[in-house]
Amino acid sequence: MSAPDSKQSYLDPDAIARGENLGILARTVVEGYRVGEHRSPYRGFAIEFAQHREYTVGDDPRHLDWKVLGRTDRYYIKQYEQDTNLVMHLLVDGSESMTYGSGRVTKLHYAKALAACLAYLVLLQRDAVSVSLFDTTTREHVVRTDSLGKIHHIMDRLAAFEASEKTDLGVAMEDIARVARARGLVVVMSDLFDDEAGFIKGLRQLRFSGHEVIVFHILDQAEIEFVFDGQVRFIGLEGSPTVELCPADIRKTYLAEIDAMKLRMRQACDTTGSHYVLANTSQPLAEVLSGYLVFRHKVSAR
Q: How far apart are CA 202 and CA 72, in angstroms?
A: 51
Q: How far is CA 178 from CA 31, 175, 185, 206, 262, in A?
A: 16, 5, 14, 9, 27
Q: Footprint of another protein on this chain (CB under 8 A)?
A: 96-100, 107, 191, 193, 220, 223, 228, 230-238, 240-241, 243-245, 248-254, 257-258, 261
Q: What is the residue type of 189?
A: M
Of the pair 209, 281, the CB lying nearest another protein is at 281
We find the least distance from the C-beta atom of residue 230 to another protein, in angstroms, to be 6
Of the pair 82, 106, the CB lying nearest another protein is at 106
Per-residue b or e along 193-221, where b marks 16 or more CB atoms closer than 10 Å to that residue's CB: bbeeebbbbbbbbbbebbbbbbbbbbbbe
We find the least distance from the C-beta atom of residue 90 to another protein, in angstroms, to be 21
Per-residue b or e along 265-298, where b marks 16 or more CB atoms closer than 10 Å to that residue's CB: bbebbeebebbbbebbbbeebbebbbebbeebee
Q: What is the residue type of 185?
A: L
Determine contact, residues 234/243, Cβ cutoff 8 Å. yes
Which residues are within 8 A (CB) of 117 and not within 5 positions of it... i.e. 6 or more apart? 10, 11, 12, 15, 16, 19, 285, 289
We find the least distance from the C-beta atom of residue 9 to another protein, in angstroms, to be 22
We find the least distance from the C-beta atom of residue 200 to another protein, in angstroms, to be 17
Determine contact, residues 223/282, Cβ cutoff 8 Å. no
Which DSSP letter does residue 147 get? Answer: -
Of the pair 45, 228, the CB lying nearest another protein is at 228
We find the least distance from the C-beta atom of residue 283 to another protein, in angstroms, to be 18
We find the least distance from the C-beta atom of residue 37 to another protein, in angstroms, to be 38
